[in-house]
C-alpha cells in the first residue's frame, strides 16, 4: 500500500473514528521486540532537564510597551521542542526560532515554551490549555513538534493524529497560526538496528504524512522533520546527535530550526518569499495526501493548504539563524509569584 493511501486511511480514521492501522501490526515478532528493548536501554537516558528559553527576544527592535508590541510565539510538543540535550537556553529550538523570527520581522518576540520531555500527542490538550486558559492573549503563532514518542510507545496512529488535529483546531479557533514539525524519521538513530530501523522509518514516515493531512485540513502548515532535516545527520551523526545518540546536539537543533523558520515567518506574512510556487525548486500543487507523502520522504518540505483538496508543496530557502547573545528577559508571572517564572521540570 502506498504511503499516500496509508496516510489517507489514518487521517480518515482520526477524523471519523475507527482504529485504522496499528503501528506495529504483525511486525511485533520476537526479534523486533528485542531490538526495541535494546534501543530503549541505549538512547534518551542520563540527560538533565532542558533549559528554559521563555522570555523576550529582539529587544533592540523596541520594548513590549511600544505599538504594535511583540509577536507572541509559543512552542509545544515533546523533548525536541523542549530542547533536551543542550545546556544553554540559547541553543534550544525555541530560542533559535524566537531570535530568527525577531530578526526577520524586526519586532520583539515573546517566547513561551510549554513543551514537555517525553510527551505524546495526548499531552497536547494540557499544553494548549496552558496557553489559552488565563488572562494572556493567544499566541500569534505556535510551533508544535510531536510524534516520535507516539511511535516508540505504540500509540495507534489514528489516535495520534486525532489528538494533534484537535490541538491545532483549538489554537486556530483562538486566532493562532500553527506550524507543525511532523514526526521525525526514527530510522536515523544510531543505536537502532535492523529490522527495527526499517520499521521505525516506515512507521514514522506514515505518521508524518497522516499528521500533515490532519493539520492542513485545520488551516495549519507542516514542515517535514524527516531525518532531522538533511543528510548532515546521516553523514555526521557524532556532531548532529547529542550525548545520548538520540536527541539532537546544538548543531542538530540549529539545523532543524533553520528549516522551520521560513514556514514560521511565512505563516505570519513576514517571510520575503511568497506562497507562490517556484518550479526551479521542484515545488508543486498536489492533492493533500500526495503532498503529505512527498513531504514525509523529503526533509524540510513545507505543506500548506491551497484550493479545495489541493496543497502547496514548497522548499523554502533556509537562512542562518542569529544566535541569541544573552539570556532573554523573563516573562512576568501572571500571579505575581516569582516562583512562577522559574523553570518547570520537564
3-class secondary structure per residue, the chain: CCHHHHHHHHHHHHHHCCCCCCCCHHHCCHHHHHHHHHHHHHCCCCCCCCCCCCEEECHHHCCCCCCCCCEEEEEEECHHHHCCCCCCHHHCHHHHHHHHHHHHHCCCEEEEECCCCCCCHHHHHHHHHHHHCCCCCCCCEEEEECCHHHHHCCCCHHHHHHHHHHHHHHHHHCCCEEEEECCCCHHHCCCCCCCHHHHHHHHHHHHHHHHHHHHHHCCCEEECCCCCCCCHHHHCHHHHECCCCCCECHHHHHHHHHHHHHHHHHHCCCCCCCCCCCHHHCCEEEEHHHHHHHHHCCCCCEEEECCCCEEEEECCCCCCCCCCCCCCECCCCCCCCHHHHCCCCC
Q: Which band of pLDDT confidence, cut at 50, 70 and 90, is reported for residue 166?
A: very high
Among the listed residues 54, 78, 79, 123, the single catalytic one is 79
Domain with 228 in it: what CATH number? 3.40.50.1110
Report the mean per-residue pLDDT for the chain.
77
Domain assignment of residue 301, yes or no:
yes
Alpha-carbon 131 to chain mean position: 17
pLDDT at 195: 64
User: Which grid coordinates are listed for 317?
Assistant: 530557502
Domain assignment of residue 331, yes or no:
no
Q: For 258-262, what is the mean pLDDT?
A: 91
Domain assignment of residue 92, yes or no:
yes
The set of residues, in sequence order, having a beta carbon less than 8 Å from that of 194 and lying 6+ positions away, is none
pLDDT at 137: 92
Q: Which band of pLDDT confidence, cut at 50, 70 and 90, is reported for residue 130?
A: very high
Say whether 278 is catalytic. Answer: no
Among the listed residues 122, 244, 275, 284, the single catalytic one is 244
Domain assignment of residue 42, yes or no:
no
Among the listed residues 54, 247, 293, 315, the single catalytic one is 247
Domain assignment of residue 240, yes or no:
yes
For residue 180, the enclosing domain spans: 3-17+50-321
- Count of domains observed in the chain: 1
Cβ distance 218 to 178 under 8 Å?
yes
If 0-12 CB within 10 Å is exposed, 13-18 middle and 19+ buried, where does residue 280 land?
Answer: exposed
pLDDT at 138: 95
The whole-angstrom separation of Cα 84 and Cα 94 is: 11
The whole-angstrom separation of Cα 23 and Cα 10 is: 10
- Edge to edge, the sheet with strand 141-145 lists 55-57, 109-113, 71-77, 141-145, 177-181, 221-223, 302-305, 310-314, 284-287
Cβ distance 251 to 240 under 8 Å?
yes
pLDDT at 296: 85
Say whether 79 is catalytic. Answer: yes
Alpha-carbon 228 to chain mean position: 10
pLDDT at 28: 44
Percent of the chain at pLDDT above 90? 37
Q: Could you tell me the sign of the dihedral formed by the alpha carbons of 18, 20, 22, 26, in that order?
A: positive
Which residue carries 537516558 as its cell? Answer: 45
Domain assignment of residue 36, yes or no:
no
The verdict on whether omega for the bond into residue 195 sits within 30 degrees of 0, i.e. cis, is yes
Q: Which band of pLDDT confidence, cut at 50, 70 and 90, is reported for residue 228?
A: low
Confidence (pTM): 0.81
Q: Which band of pLDDT confidence, cut at 50, 70 and 90, is reported for residue 20?
A: very low
Q: For 224-251, what is the mean pLDDT?
A: 56
Domain assignment of residue 256, yes or no:
yes
Percent of the chain at pLDDT above 70? 66
Q: For 173-179, what is the mean pLDDT?
A: 97
Position with higher pLDDT, 292 vs 229: 292
Domain assignment of residue 38, yes or no:
no
Residue 48 has pLDDT above 80, yes or no: no
pLDDT at 133: 87
pLDDT at 162: 95
Say whether 315 is catalytic. Answer: no
Q: Which band of pLDDT confidence, cut at 50, 70 and 90, is reported for residue 185?
A: confident
Amino acid at each position: 500500500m502506498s504511503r499516500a493511501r496509508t496516510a489517507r486511511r489514518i487521517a480518515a480514521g482520526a477524523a471519523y473514528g475507527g482504529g485504522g492501522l496499528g503501528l506495529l501490526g504483525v511486525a511485533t515478532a520476537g526479534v523486533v521486540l528485542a531490538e526495541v528493548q535494546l534501543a530503549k536501554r541505549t538512547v534518551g537516558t542520563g540527560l538533565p532537564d532542558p533549559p528554559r528559553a521563555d522570555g523576550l527576544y529582539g529587544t533592540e527592535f523596541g520594548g513590549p510597551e511600544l505599538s504594535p508590541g511583540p509577536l507572541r510565539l509559543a512552542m509545544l510538543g515533546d523533548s525536541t521542542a523542549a530542547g533536551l540535550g543542550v545546556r544553554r537556553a540559547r541553543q534550544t529550538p525555541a530560542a533559535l526560532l524566537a531570535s530568527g523570527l525577531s530578526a526577520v520581522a524586526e519586532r520583539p518576540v515573546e517566547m513561551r515554551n510549554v513543551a514537555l520531555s517525553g510527551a505524546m500527542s495526548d499531552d497536547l490538550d494540557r499544553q494548549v490549555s496552558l496557553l489559552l486558559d488565563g488572562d494572556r492573549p493567544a499566541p500569534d503563532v505556535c510551533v508544535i513538534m510531536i510524534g516520535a514518542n507516539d511511535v516508540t510507545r505504540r500509540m495507534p496512529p489514528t489516535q495520534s493524529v486525532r489528538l494533534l488535529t484537535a490541538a491545532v483546531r483549538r489554537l486556530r479557533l483562538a486566532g493562532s497560526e500553527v506550524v507543525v514539525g511532523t514526526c521525525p524519521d526514527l530510522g536515523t538513530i544510531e543505536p537502532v538496528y535492523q529490522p527495527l530501523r526499517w520499521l521505525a522509518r516506515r512507521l514514522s514516515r506514515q505518521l508524518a504524512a497522516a499528521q500533515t493531512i490532519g493539520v492542513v485540513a485545520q488551516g495549519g502548515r507542516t514542515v517535514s522533520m524527516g531525518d532531522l532535516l538533511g543528510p548532515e545527520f546521516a553523514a555526521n551523526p557524532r556532531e548532529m546527535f547529542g550525548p545520548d545518540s538520540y536527541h539532537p546536539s546544538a548543531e542538530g537543533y540549529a539545523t532543524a530550526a533553520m528549516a522551520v523558520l521560513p514556514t514560521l515567518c511565512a505563516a505570519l506574512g513576514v517571510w520575503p518569499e511568497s506562497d507562490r510556487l517556484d518550479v526551479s525548486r521542484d515545488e508543486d500543487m498536489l492533492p493533500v495526501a500526495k503532498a503529505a507523502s512527498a513531504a514525509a520522504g523529503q526533509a524540510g518540505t513545507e505543506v500548506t493548504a491551497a484550493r479545495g483538496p489541493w496543497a502547496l508543496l514548497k522548499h523554502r530557502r533556509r537562512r542562518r539563524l542569529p544566535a541569541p547573545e544573552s539570556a532573554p528577559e523573563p516573562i512576568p508571572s501572571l500571579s505575581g509569584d516569582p516562583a512562577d517564572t522559574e523553570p518547570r521540570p520537564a
